[in-house]
Amino acid sequence: MRALRSEDWWSVWLGFAIIVAVAAGWVAAVPKVTSWATDPAEAWAGSYGALLGLAGMLVGITSVAVKATGHDLARYIPGALVVFLLAGLAQTIGAQSGLKSWGLGYALWALGLGLLISNTIGAPPWLEAGSRSELFIKIGLVLLGAELLLGRIVELGGPGLMVAYLVTPVIILLMWSFGTRVLQMRSKALTIIIACATSVCGVSAAVAVAAAVRAKKEELTLGIGLTMIFTVGMMVGMPALSRALGLDPWVAGAWIGGTVDSTGAVVAAGAMLGDDAEQVAAVVKMIQNTMIGGIAFLIALYWVAKVEPTEGGRPSASILWERFPKFVLGFLLASALSSFVFVPLLGSDSTEAITKVTKGFRGWLFAMAFVSIGLESNFRRLTEQLVGGKPILLYAAGQSVNVLLTLLVAWLAFGGVLFPSPS
């Protein structure tokens, strides 16, 4: 069967295997880094045995997919173990209290460690064999689906939906048009990655869309890098600007939730303005995150029909299905599983406990993916994409429009104009 040799399908199966294992109680916890100030040993105190077990589990289950897709396990296993160690190192650095306060999280350090190795001593073949960025990312995105309960959208009603669902598609279309027609960027894949990273939720949207359009590693690396660089500034600047404008905490929270790219940075920025702003910022961002699967699906269809069309320009049903990113299906099914099976049968508290553990797995898989992306990339190819500064201009222009439009919609939705004020 072709499905048995498809990395996409294996990402779905392995993602659901992890969810089932956690729901059944076979895995009760995932080692989590703790904040530290001067002694990095505090980051994993008492967790070393659990870390070894987690490394064995992640490398073990992904080895099944690697073997099934025709790759050499003798090279993959040692390489994947080193990638796991580098992911742990990145999380340790990102947990340092000073760096953490500036929003310099593990994703930046994981990518940086991989890039440092690949662009200095170079990654040896066995380490490259363990750098399975797409597999790690896709499994993580399936797990992300389980964390996003569809019922949460209803909790905030019309205001949250208005901010998240009205602005996002407008920004994607504007940035796509600006990047392809005005800037005439060479890489359409890079254009759509930056557009979706800006308008949806940064890294997660970037990796989902990159997989949907089969982007190059360098294009994804650049999209993620731009996102993380701008996110740090926005995380600090948006709360300060909200205070300067005298915004209501609900409006400010919705504004932050709809514009700051990273979910973690959204929560951190919202918290600077109080509990109300933190709550609405997190919920708006979470509602926005539910668009990842649908956006990746629609972009995949558009890519086959218009950007990389099949012969005759009309994709057949079989071609559409072949190109359809199966991890998106897994993402949506995982969300439905949590929403319509776990919550009714197990209750909200038990479902939250399950997704807390799956989120731990997702964090490790994403860290391994970002290390792998760095190992698979080099600065020479990366700088080729920056010729003329067009990617930076695209991001800056798109985010500027995003900030202004989201402020208007947040005021209409949460300022007591179109809906009763939550306060």
Distance CA(45)–CA(54), nearest Å, equals 15
Classified as helix, coil or strand, 94 is helix
Kind plus residue range of the DSSP H or E element containing 3? none
Q: Are 281 and 239 in contact (CB under 8 A)?
A: no
- What pLDDT score does 421 carry? 67
**Torsion, CA 13, CA 15, CA 21, CA 22, rounded to 10:** -160
What stretch of H or E contains 105?
none
| Closest by CA position to 361, among listed 26, 3, 99, 4 | 26
**Read out DSSP for 183-223?**
S--S-HHHHHHHHHIIIIITHHHHHHHHHHHT--HHHHHHH
Instruction: Please give the backbone phi and psi of residue 122, each rounded to the nearest 5 degrees, phi first.
Output: 85, 140
Give the single-character DSSP code of 36. B
Structure token digits, residue 296: 């990746």
Residue showing tokens 């500064």: 389
Per-residue pLDDT at 34: 81
d(CA 134, CA 114): 15
Query: What pLDDT was estimated at residue 133?
Result: 79
Residue 41: predicted pLDDT: 80
* Cβ proximity of 170 and 202 under 8 Å: no
DSSP string, 346-390: H-HHHHHHHHHHHHHHHHHHHHHHHHHHHHT--HHHHHHTTGGGH
What residue ranges do the domains of the chain occupy? 2-414
- Closest residue by Cα to residue 89 from 81, 418, 255, 381: 81
Q: How far apart are CA 175 and CA 199, in angstroms?
A: 9
CA distances from 118 to 87, 111, 124, 151, 224 (A): 15, 11, 9, 43, 17
The conformational region for residue 46 under phi > 0 = left, psi -120 to 50 = alpha, else beta, is left
SS3 96: strand
| Biggest CA pair distance of the chain | 63
pTM of the predicted model as reported, rounded to 2 decimal places: 0.69
Average pLDDT per 10 consecutive residues for the chain, totaling 423 residues? 74 93 90 82 81 91 89 89 93 82 74 84 85 84 78 61 86 94 89 90 78 80 77 80 92 91 72 78 76 81 78 55 69 86 89 90 88 74 63 91 94 82 63
Buried b (16+ CB within 10 A) or exposed e, 51-65: beebbebbbebbeeb
Q: Is the dihedral of CA 329, 208, 115, 229 positive or negative?
A: negative
